[in-house]
Amino acid sequence: MNDDPYSDPEIAELYDVLNTWADSDEFYLDLVMRSDSVLDVGCGTGMILRTARYRGHHGRLVGLDPAQAMLDVGRRDRSDIEWTSGDLTTVRYDREFDLAIMSGHAFQELVSDEELRRNLAAVRAALIDTGRFVFETRNPGARAWEQWTPEFAVEIPHPDGGVIWDQNDVELPVVGDIVTFVSRCTSPTFEGVKTTRSTLRFLDQTSLNGFLCEAGLAIEAQYGFWDRSPVSDSSPEIITIARRD
């Protein structure tokens, strides 16, 4: 079983098919297009950055991700973006960006308090004095993991024909704010089933804001969904815009 699905070149090649452009991407793209220098932390294939280039962004765009296979997909499409292998614990920036983003719920992969503190400190260090950090994390009140079960498996058309089948299975019981689940994916291009195990943290709004404040990041706005509606007990997301304090 693989604990890092995105290091698999076959999974990386299908990432943009499994995660098609959505309202969340438009939300981030709007911010990117209004920023001169952008750091995309956990960028994956860099779909947001690549789209920004295609739509005329002429500033500095940096995609940071530990999965080389994902970066290879992005680099093949656009060589005019800085594709950097690593994460905020291995690659350091000092007041270089007016915007840093973490999309695709990448923030939830920071599971321990220590990981959160190290990464938030590194994000703050990477921002200019007026820089902003924007990310989303699933609101635990919506209990999204309750639908990460085999009966909610999805089938997605493969671009070359056939069907991609994607299924999740949560490890029960869920204790505290940590959720671990197993994903199984099949594709006409795979030999057998790709099986991965992932762990995510579901921070509530109060705990999240405490970590941000401690890191010297002041909250400008928080939304419960991509239409900028307010956070409620059951809203699916906690979307945060924070600035260097």
> If DSSP states are collapsed to H, E and C, what string results for 30-72?
HHHHCCCEEEEECCCCCHHHHHHHHCCCCCEEEEEECCHHHHH
Closest CA to 38 of 131, 121, 106, 109: 131
Q: Which amino acid is at 191?
A: E
Q: Same domain for 148 and 56?
A: no
Structural domains counted in the chain: 2
Residue of 194, 135, 162, 192 whose CA lies nearest to 6: 194
Statement to judge: residues 78 and 190 lie in one domain: no
| Residue 1 confidence (pLDDT) | 60
Instruction: Note the pLDDT of residue 7.
Output: 80
Calpha distance 90→177 (Å, rounded): 26
The answer on 150 and 235 residing in a single domain is no
Give φ, ψ of 18 to 5 degrees.
-75, -25
Residues in the chain: 245
pTM: 0.95
Q: Which domain holds residue 128?
A: 5-138+202-244
Both 37 and 122 in one domain: the answer is: yes
Q: At 228, is the secondary structure helix, strand, or coil?
A: coil
Q: Which residue spans within 142-236 are E strands per DSSP? A: 154-157, 163-170, 178-186, 194-201, 217-223
227: tokens are: 């239409």
Shared domain check, 225 and 161: no
Q: Are residues 175 and 215 in the same domain?
A: no
Q: Where are the beta strands (DSSP E) in 49-144?
A: 60-65, 82-85, 97-102, 127-138
What is the Cα gyration radius of the chain? 18
Residues 181 and 217 in one domain: no
Same domain? 127 vs 104: yes
Are 30 and 73 in a shared domain? yes
Phi and psi of 32, rounded to 5°?
A: -60, -45
**CATH number of the domain enclosing 233:** 3.40.50.150
Residue 6 has what pLDDT?
76
- pLDDT for the residue 2: 56
Full pLDDT tens readout for the chain, 245 residues: 656 667 889 889 999 999 999 999 999 999 999 999 999 999 999 999 999 999 999 999 999 999 999 999 999 999 999 999 999 999 999 999 999 999 999 999 999 999 999 999 999 999 999 999 999 999 999 999 999 999 999 999 998 899 999 999 999 999 899 999 999 999 998 989 999 999 999 999 999 999 999 999 999 999 999 999 999 999 999 999 999 99
What is the pLDDT, as a whole number, of residue 160? 87
58 lies in the same domain as 173: no
- Pair (107, 129) in one structural domain: yes
User: Are 77 and 186 within one domain?
Assistant: no
